[in-house]
Amino acid sequence: MYSNDRKEYLLEVKNRTDHLSYALEIIESNFIALYQLLETTTTLSHSLPLDRSSHEEFLTKIFSSARSSLIYGIGIWYEPYVFSPDRQWYGPYIHYNDPRGGLFSVSYEWSTPEYEYHRTDWYKKILDSASDGFYLTAPYFDTDYTYITVGKPFYREGRKAGVITIDIIRPLLEDFFRQFDFSDYEGLILTLSDRSIIYAVSCIDKGSGGVSMFQEENTEVFNRGKTLEMFTRKGITPLLLETETKDKRFKLYGVTDRKEIIRGLIKHYSRNYIIFLFFSLMLPFFYYLSLRTKRKDIENRQLNFENTSLKIEIQKRKEAETALEFIAYHDPVTGLHNLNAFFETIDSPYGLEDSRYLIQVSLENMRELSIIMDRDIIDSILKEFAGRLVSNCPENAGLFRGRGFNFYIVCMDTPRGNALNLSRSLLQEFRRAILLHNRNIRLRVRFGLAAFAEAEDLNQAVNMSQATLSGNNSKQIDQIFLYNDRIQENNSRMINLDAAMSQNSFIDELHLLYQPIIRVEDRKTVGAEALLRWNSSYTGTIVSPADFIPLAEENGYIIELGWFVLRETIRVLASGIIPGDWFISVNVSPLQFIESGFPDKLDAMMDAAGIDKKRIKLEITESSASSTAQYFWQSVEELINREYRLAIDDFGTGESSFHRLYTLAFDTLKVDRTFVKDIQAAPRNIEIFRSLLNLGKSMENMVIVEGIETEKEHELLKSLGMTYAQGYLYSRPAVLEDIIQEKPPC
């Protein structure tokens, strides 16, 4: 047993001993009460008149005042002849009629032969005891019950007159002991100091009503060994606990089963052990639970995290979808709706009642600008344009960006006049230059109007508005065109041309015509401009470069086409067919300039042909010369550095960068034909012309005036200082042989 258990065990034993001591104390105090009563009775009795009634009255009073529950009867027992000289014995005795109390009665014992009390053991022992002492008899059986008597002799006239007794019967003792809980005890034994047992009970045979282990008639003496053995025989491991009163008059023994105590302890502890065991066993489970909880927690967190991630993901997807949707339906540069949105949101034309108009706005010079300008500048221009479009269109108008630099306006339920008015006011608006990076950029805008009423579906409406633009001369800038049948024809023609250009025979069908460039002074040819012609087998016609050059720039054939012209020109120069002091001007698309390695490739061709670079002039249009794109100017500079001669074509129609004109050594300025046409309209134009010529001269440029058709123009411009000219007056573009005839080769 663990020391802790032993301690518990001892404590358990001590508790039981204390329990016995407590019971014994109560027994003692009850007996003390009996002694006091006995004392009082003996004191009073010696002066009692020796008659029956006095004794009867006295005993009744004493009995009634007695407080102890142990008292069964009180007797005054006289020695023979003391009460009366003629009577041998006399003993008035008062007692309950029932062993458990209740009614009581007084009886008189008088010299009856069957009851000679002075011969009984109890009487003799009490009478023989010390006169001032009490005597407690061992249990004895007397007619009905087992008695224990406490008695004291009394004196009359100086001699022992008899004994006064207080009787305790066994039923009363049993009642008395019943007030204590001795259920934990296997047996209980109360003894007197001489070890005579006055009360003993075995609790083992509880079923038989607590039968005493002692025979009723027996007056046993307590024997430790015998007692223990008796319990051992009953399968008990007895432990005898004993306690005695201070005066050692009583001893109380409690028999407990040692095993029972240990069992109790085990039971007590086992409960703890079980709890402990339970928790020990449950520990892994709790651990598992806590792990599970933790795992759940982690899982929950994970779930929460995943949930949050999912939410974020969903949010992101939504945002992405929104962004995608935005991208799907918006133009990222201008923020305007795109053609997808146009086809999804605009209702199809619904016949003659449909008063809507589709206005296509084409930014004519943007394609060129986008080749030669940085992209962010192009984007800024487009944003500015879109901003103006939004602020100048009515709220109910739908605005869309189409392919390239085309924009669409749907005038909702607008009468025809209003669509035109809107176009006019927009035209006015876009004439205002856009100021970007300290630079004025003028948009060349064209408007193509198509009535919904004339279209069968949206696609047709778009095609019609497109046709109004492409069916008209692209040089007619700042114009508003209305769709008509001719336009439709033109449009189909362009589609036709595009198809023709994609034929393998395209390049083979090209040839050059040459238009002489003359010196005004003597009208002698100094050079010629190579002008491309296309004799298309597909269309069966000769196609004008004004038609197919822009188309070739759109579909990319311009590069191949450009090399054809250069190759052909170099071949002509190298062939010696033309006079050696002539030069040939070649129109070069800005797209060709930005082709990587263009100067090298050209050099290679020139070197291979052994041609002097002075004999070739590369014409670039003025609008492309207004380029801000670095690589364009790098190429121009490179060509100038390699001693090529560069001409600015159509001078006066585009946005000239005078800064560039001054800083780059251009060789020639070709003044556009429109100046010649306008010259006679107003005297102011003469001044403009004069200053243009002076500008060229001051820059030491060759100034060639294009489009001289009449002698009048020739004379007038000659008087203004024109030195070189080109025009129908001198010669239309012609085959080489025709222009050479004028001046045979040197």
Chain contacts with ligand C2E (rule: CB under 6 A): 515, 530-532, 544-546, 549, 565, 587-589, 619, 649-650, 673, 706-709, 726-728, 733
The C-alpha atoms of residue 557 and residue 355 are separated, in whole angstroms, by: 40
Report the residue number, 649 or 667, with the smaller CB distance to ligand C2E: 649
Question: Which token pair is 333?
Answer: 């540069």
Report the residue number, 397 or 588, with the smaller CB distance to ligand C2E: 588
Q: How far is the CB of 411 from ligand C2E (least distance, A)?
A: 35
Report the residue number, 451 or 671, with the smaller CB distance to Mg ion: 671
Judged by CB under 5 A, how many residues of this single chain contact Mg ion? 5
Question: Which token pair is 650?
Answer: 């159509």
Q: How far is the CB of 676 from ligand C2E (least distance, A)?
A: 8
The C-alpha atoms of residue 51 and residue 78 are separated, in whole angstroms, by: 12
Q: How far is the CB of 467 from ligand C2E (least distance, A)?
A: 22
Considering only CA atoms, which of 571, 585, 575, 570 is closest in space to residue 518?
A: 585
Q: How far is the CB of 532 from ligand C2E (least distance, A)?
A: 4
Report the residue number, 79 or 619, with the smaller CB distance to Mg ion: 619
Report the residue number, 146 or 623, with the smaller CB distance to Mg ion: 623
Report the residue number, 435 or 542, with the smaller CB distance to ligand C2E: 542
Report the residue number, 285 or 728, with the smaller CB distance to ligand C2E: 728
Residue 546's binding partner out of ligand C2E, Mg ion, none, with CB under 5 to 8 Å set by partner kind? ligand C2E
Report the residue number, 41 or 370, with the smaller CB distance to ligand C2E: 370
Phi, psi of 647 (to 5 degrees): -115, 145
Q: How far is the CB of 321 from ligand C2E (least distance, A)?
A: 46
The long-range contacts involving 638-645, CB below 8 angstroms and separated by at least 24 positions, are: 638/599, 639/599, 639/602, 640/664, 640/665, 640/666, 642/599, 642/603, 642/613, 643/613, 643/614, 644/599, 644/602, 644/613, 644/616, 644/618, 645/583, 645/613, 645/614, 645/616, 645/617, 645/618
Q: Which of 587, 589, 628, 635 binds Mg ion (CB under 5 A)?
A: 587
The C-alpha atoms of residue 494 and residue 505 are separated, in whole angstroms, by: 18
Residue 545's binding partner out of ligand C2E, Mg ion, none, with CB under 5 to 8 Å set by partner kind? ligand C2E
Range 606-625, binding Mg ion (CB under 5 A): 619
Site string for Mg ion, 70-99 (x = CB under 5 A): ------------------------------
Q: How far is the CB of 673 from ligand C2E (least distance, A)?
A: 6
What is the CA angle 640-646-652, rounded to 5? 135
Report the residue number, 169 or 543, with the smaller CB distance to Mg ion: 543
Q: How far is the CB of 547 from ligand C2E (least distance, A)?
A: 9
The C-alpha atoms of residue 121 and residue 74 are separated, in whole angstroms, by: 17
Question: Which token pair is 181?
Answer: 């809980």
Question: Which token pair is 625?
Answer: 């010369």
Q: How far is the CB of 673 from Mg ion (least distance, A)?
A: 7
Report the residue number, 26 or 605, with the smaller CB distance to ligand C2E: 605
Q: How far is the CB of 560 from Mg ion (least distance, A)?
A: 19
Rounded to a whole number of angstroms, the CA Rg of the chain reads: 72
Q: How far is the CB of 518 from ligand C2E (least distance, A)?
A: 11
Buried b (16+ CB within 10 A) or exposed e, 407-443: bbbbbbebeeeebbebbeebbeebeeebebeeeebbb
The C-alpha atoms of residue 654 and residue 672 are separated, in whole angstroms, by: 10
Q: How far is the CB of 577 from ligand C2E (least distance, A)?
A: 18
The C-alpha atoms of residue 116 and residue 368 are separated, in whole angstroms, by: 161
Residue 544's binding partner out of ligand C2E, Mg ion, none, with CB under 5 to 8 Å set by partner kind? ligand C2E
The C-alpha atoms of residue 266 and residue 264 are separated, in whole angstroms, by: 5
E strand intervals along 157-215 = 159-169, 187-192, 197-202
Report whether 704 contacts 675 (CB < 8 A). no
Question: Which token pair is 426?
Answer: 């927009």
Report whether 650 contacts 620 (CB < 8 A). no
Range 695-734, binding Mg ion (CB under 5 A): 706
Residue 728's binding partner out of ligand C2E, Mg ion, none, with CB under 5 to 8 Å set by partner kind? ligand C2E
Residue 515's binding partner out of Mg ion, ligand C2E, none, with CB under 5 to 8 Å set by partner kind? ligand C2E
Residue 54's binding partner out of Mg ion, ligand C2E, none, with CB under 5 to 8 Å set by partner kind? none
| Three-state secondary-structure class, residue 240 | strand
Residue 368's binding partner out of ligand C2E, Mg ion, none, with CB under 5 to 8 Å set by partner kind? none
Report the residue number, 88 or 541, with the smaller CB distance to ligand C2E: 541
Report the residue number, 8 or 650, with the smaller CB distance to ligand C2E: 650
Q: How far is the CB of 712 from ligand C2E (least distance, A)?
A: 13
Residue 278's binding partner out of Mg ion, ligand C2E, none, with CB under 5 to 8 Å set by partner kind? none
Report whether 645 contacts 613 (CB < 8 A). yes
Site string for Mg ion, 627-656 (x = CB under 5 A): ----------------------xx------
Report whether 77 contacts 167 (CB < 8 A). no
| Three-state secondary-structure class, residue 447 | strand
The C-alpha atoms of residue 532 and residue 510 are separated, in whole angstroms, by: 7
Residue 37's binding partner out of Mg ion, ligand C2E, none, with CB under 5 to 8 Å set by partner kind? none
Q: Could you list the residues that contact Mg ion (CB under 5 A)?
A: 587, 619, 649-650, 706
